[in-house]
Chain A
Amino acid sequence: MSTLEAALLKAEKWGAQYAEVRFHKNFSSQLIMLNGNIISNEQDSSSGYSLRTYREGHLDFYSDDTSPPEPTSTPIGRGWEVGVDLHGEVGNVEFSYEGRQSFREVDLAEKLELLKGIFDQARALKLNSKLERLTLNYWEGVEEKEVVNSIGLRLRSRVGRVGLWYSFTLKEGDKYITASVEEFGNSGGFEKVKEWRAMEAIAERIRSVDDLVSRGKAPSPGKKDVIVSGMIAGIIAHESGGHPFEADRVLGREAAQAGRSYLNKDWIGRRMGTRVLNLVDDPTLEGSMGFYIVDDEGVRARRKFLIKDGVVNELLHNRFTASRWETRSNGSSRAMDYESEPIIRMSNTFFLPGNAKFEELLEDVEDGVFLKSYMEWNIDDTRWGQRYVGLEAYEVRRGELGDPLKFPVLESTTGEIYSSVDMVDDTLTFYPGTCGKGEPSQGVPVWLGGPDMRMRGVRVKVLE
């Protein structure tokens, strides 16, 4: 009997109606380069054990870095949970996704050369403004888990992940503009880095922001047609589509921290957007940041249609919310590390593409805005009122892209946005993200994405 199985047996003898024991190891390494110089070369390694038990309405979580914990709790007050869904596909599951080229096989010198090359190329760009700073943050890591639970799960998994985040500061006169971009991130190995073509992409973005600085003009405020890129569609999908569909949030379990949701159980089957809106959460995409095939409670992962043809279809569930609503968990339970309780999380959340071409989105827009990337966004705690400030943005005049616009603001509600999308194109782009939730806060890797989408007649504001 393994150490984990022995711990599970103890928890069951103690009286747990449901228990799970997890060994969880994360290894990550990070290089930060500022203007071609290393300012940080760090690595982080954590490994340890957790135990979660459910008994008589009480959920208890324990973690210890040296050995599997044993349950000690005596009930205090009233427990919030009402039951646990004990169905689901379980058994021995083993999966590994570390790509073709492991991070260890690649010399650190090669990684440094890559970052240095990006900086050198950026420095050589002919710009109207001055590139004051370019910070490159490269990270790689491997997450390893073993989970056993009282439904018979015996899970082993290893997933590699790699990403590059960057920020730059341009200066013109006495004015600065800073931009931070999270653009590259995959599960897999070092081969993904070569697929990014990061050097070209970063140079293009710097050029584009430089163009904005030198000849961008102020947008005019008012109701307009707004086309958002896959990057902005992705953040909308995640913030106003994914989060409010987390069943634990809908039930109020996270109300003091990550907030509540605008929807409730009665919204299933209700129209909340136009027919072109299809929103999914899909952990099964190989190469994605949110990739897994079995969740941390031993439920097989699958694509979830959160919104289908504009209608609310299903929520994200774990075994506990599923029990409360007399349904089945759809495999949405994840923990960041051994010190974290598994909770309902998104994986890869995105709007599905349609059939239109980008030119068709532009075609009959008389006076509109194209938001290509963003510099700021936020959303209220019910996930209804939201705001996106454009970084790269362009006017759309009589069906064509025009001059760059300085920082148009889309501040609207989920209802208005979802009911104003009348066309989506046939592209699908993904961006990496770290999704925060829980107490203590857990950041888990996700992808967010979508096609270019057109909204009719939404209010555009300007910054003073």
Chain B
Amino acid sequence: MEEQFKSVDSYAVLTFEYKRTMVKFASNAITVTQRWKSKAYSVVLTSGDRTAIAGGRGSVSDALEEARRKLQYSQTPFPVVFPKDERKVVKRITNGEVEGAVKDPSKVVEHVLNSFEVDTYGTIDIALMSRKLKTSGGFEGEEENANVTAYFRAFKGENSGSWAWSGNSIDYVKLRDTVRRATRYAELSGEVKIEDGRYNVVLSPLVFSNLIGIVAWMSSAMSLEVGSSIFLGKRPGDAVASERLSLVDSPRSTYFGTWEFDDEGVDTYNKPIIERGKLETFLYNRALAEKAKRKSTGNAGWVFPRPWSLEVGEGDVGEESLYSGASLLFNNNWYTRMQNYVEGTFSTVGRDAIIVLKDGREVGIARRLRIADSLRNLLLNVESLSKTRYPIRWWEVETPTVSPFALVRGLRISRAS
């Protein structure tokens, strides 16, 4: 393989290996047990202002040859660079229990099955991951991580509730609590019809994580370049959100696996994207940072800088204290679609329990509602956040996010009828 690097200025090879077991449930039974053993790689070749990338699984050689062939046509305003950097970084977070459960998940599965109280569906996903980076600048990094993700959806008649949890170890109490919370939401009843209009809404951590995740991706400097960001035209220091809201890119999270270095070998660090309502920074790799005359934030992505994991700052009230100022609570959502990335207009569909609140109490369930507003309004109208935060990752929240419950004033609600 070294031969194939000879005619280029610089290069890097990133490999990602994992062993992973996922068990899926439906109606309190196991639909499928999936096991993976895989090694993925990504290679970047650069020559002057040209950059070509090859990635995949299986054989590296063919793809490398193809990348070499492409290099002459790959002039770009954002060439990847690997300056001299001869650091060695090694970090291994081993977890014997997670490793054991990847091989034999029966104890975890039995615990989960015994936690089901009503008709329950869901997934438990247990993974060991390792990541290595070697650059022509001399950087060599290696790290290992463990990750456990679970979410459950409980049904009682036509009503449903869901909840999720994610962490870097197997926590039997949290798993049981996750099932219980989904079940509690499913047990709410009494339908109330809600008409289109603006409402004060409590967003659960599942919903807030989904929406704030889009905001975080919009803070990638490449999102600004391609015009898919509400931050177009904004600068650090500009007020973009309620003073109560802080959003941190958190690669050194204590909740999830940490990531020590980015895809260019730059050290990662926790950084606010929004702090007390003010835009703090965009997320950069080296090329985009140079264009902005700033430093890399350790978020490469060779092409597209990305958040690693996210934390929303905690609030100062109990979860149910948020109810007194609200008319609705959205337990979950899906299908968030943007109409206009720059203006930030979107809609997202309520899923599972949409709880109708009155005088701080749960008075029933509403159906077929969606939030149809803009991310700008959402950020500016965060009124209050709960003290307790939850580590969330599920089907609609791919970037692991620690989020509180959020009370947002005057969100536009729309109903399909």
Contacts and interface: CB of A to CB of B under 8 A. Distances in A.
Interface of A: 25, 29, 32, 34, 37-48, 58-65, 69, 72-74, 76-81, 108-109, 112, 132-133, 135, 167, 169, 175-178, 251-257, 259, 339, 341, 375-381, 384-387, 389, 407, 409, 411-413, 439-441, 459, 461, 463-464
15 contacts: A38-B73, A42-B52, A46-B57, A47-B58, A60-B33, A79-B29, A112-B73, A177-B343, A254-B26, A256-B162, A378-B334, A381-B334, A384-B416, A413-B416, A439-B22
B227 A133 contact: yes
B346 interface: yes
Interface of B: 22-40, 51-59, 62-63, 66-67, 69-70, 73-78, 105-106, 109-110, 113, 121-123, 151-153, 155, 162, 196, 222, 225-228, 232, 303, 334-343, 345-351, 368, 370, 372, 395, 412, 414-417
Contact of B35 (A38, A63, A79, A132): A63
Contacts of A39: 76-78, 222, 225-226, 303
Given A177-B343, A378-B370, 8 more contacts: A42-B55, A79-B29, A177-B340, A339-B38, A387-B372, A411-B415, A461-B414, A463-B345
Contacts of B63: 43-45
Contact of B343 (A34, A176, A256): A176
A79 B347 CA distance: 37
B31 A44 contact: no
B330 to A, nearest CB: 13
B26 A167 contact: no
Given A39-B76, A339-B36, A46 B56 contact: yes
B340 A80 contact: no
A80 B109 contact: no
Contact of B337 (A62, A377, A441): A377
B133 to A, nearest CB: 17
Contacts of A381: 334, 349, 351
A341 B34 contact: yes
B301 to A, nearest CB: 10
A378 B106 contact: no
B342 A59 contact: no
Given A44-B55, A59-B31, A169-B227, A77 B113 contact: yes
A344 to B, nearest CB: 13
B347 A376 contact: yes
Contact of B349 (A59, A112, A379): A379
Given A43-B63, A47-B57, A459-B417, A62 B35 contact: yes
Nearest to B114: A77
Contacts of B336: 378
B76 A341 contact: no
Given A41-B53, A46-B57, A76 B110 contact: yes
A385 B416 contact: yes
* B22, B52, B77, B416, most chain A CB atoms within 10 A: B416
B37 A76 contact: no
Contacts of B26: 80, 251-256
A384 B339 contact: no
A358 to B, nearest CB: 26
Nearest to A45: B56
A311 B78 CA distance: 55
Given A43-B54, A47-B58, A380-B368, A37 B77 contact: yes
Contact of B29 (A45, A78, A133, A175): A78
Given A42-B55, A76-B106, A381-B351, A376 B338 contact: yes
Chief secondary structure at chain A's binding surface: strand
A29 B56 CA distance: 11
Contacts of B73: 38, 41, 108-109, 112
Contacts of A252: 26-27, 121
Contact of B351 (A60, A380, A386): A380
B227 A132 contact: yes
A461 B351 CA distance: 22
Contacts of B339: 375-376, 389, 407, 463
Contacts of A109: 73
B66 A43 contact: yes
Contact of B106 (A64, A74, A169, A407): A74
Contacts of A175: 343
Contact of A411 (B34, B109, B232, B416): B416
Contact of B303 (A40, A47, A72, A79): A40
A194 B77 CA distance: 28
A285 to B, nearest CB: 27
Contact of A25 (B58, B338, B349): B58
- 4 smallest CB-CB distances across A and B, nearest first, come from A385-B416, A45-B56, A378-B335, A176-B342
A65 B55 contact: no
Given A256-B25, A387-B370, A413-B417, A41 B37 contact: no
A417 B162 CA distance: 29
Given A256-B25, A376-B339, A59 B32 contact: yes
Contacts of A167: 226-228
B416 A380 contact: yes
A461 B196 contact: yes
A251 B37 CA distance: 30
A48 B58 contact: yes
A178 to B, nearest CB: 5
A461 B226 CA distance: 30
Contact of B59 (A40, A45, A132, A441): A45
A441 to B, nearest CB: 7
A339 B18 CA distance: 12
Nearest to B121: A256
B30 A78 contact: yes
A192 to B, nearest CB: 21
A47 B348 CA distance: 36
Nearest to A256: B121
Contact of A77 (B22, B110, B337, B343): B110
Nearest to B103: A72
Contacts of B153: 255-256
A45 B35 contact: no
Contact of B347 (A64, A253, A387): A387
Nearest to A339: B36
Contact of B27 (A80, A112, A257): A80
A169 B121 contact: no
A62 B103 CA distance: 12
Nearest to B346: A376
Nearest to A168: B227
Nearest to A25: B58
B25 to A, nearest CB: 7
A178 B230 CA distance: 11
Nearest to B56: A45
B368 to A, nearest CB: 4
A463 B340 CA distance: 12
A361 B414 CA distance: 29
Contacts of A78: 28-30
Contacts of B28: 78
Contacts of A45: 54-59, 62-63, 66
Given A41-B73, A45-B62, A256 B53 contact: no
A41 B74 contact: yes
A412 B416 contact: yes
* A46, A74, A76, A441, most chain B CB atoms within 10 A: A76
A178 B340 CA distance: 5
B62 A256 contact: no
Contacts of B416: 380, 384-387, 411-413
Contacts of B33: 58-61, 73, 76
Nearest to A239: B335
A461 to B, nearest CB: 7
Contact of B122 (A42, A256, A379): A256
A377 B349 CA distance: 10
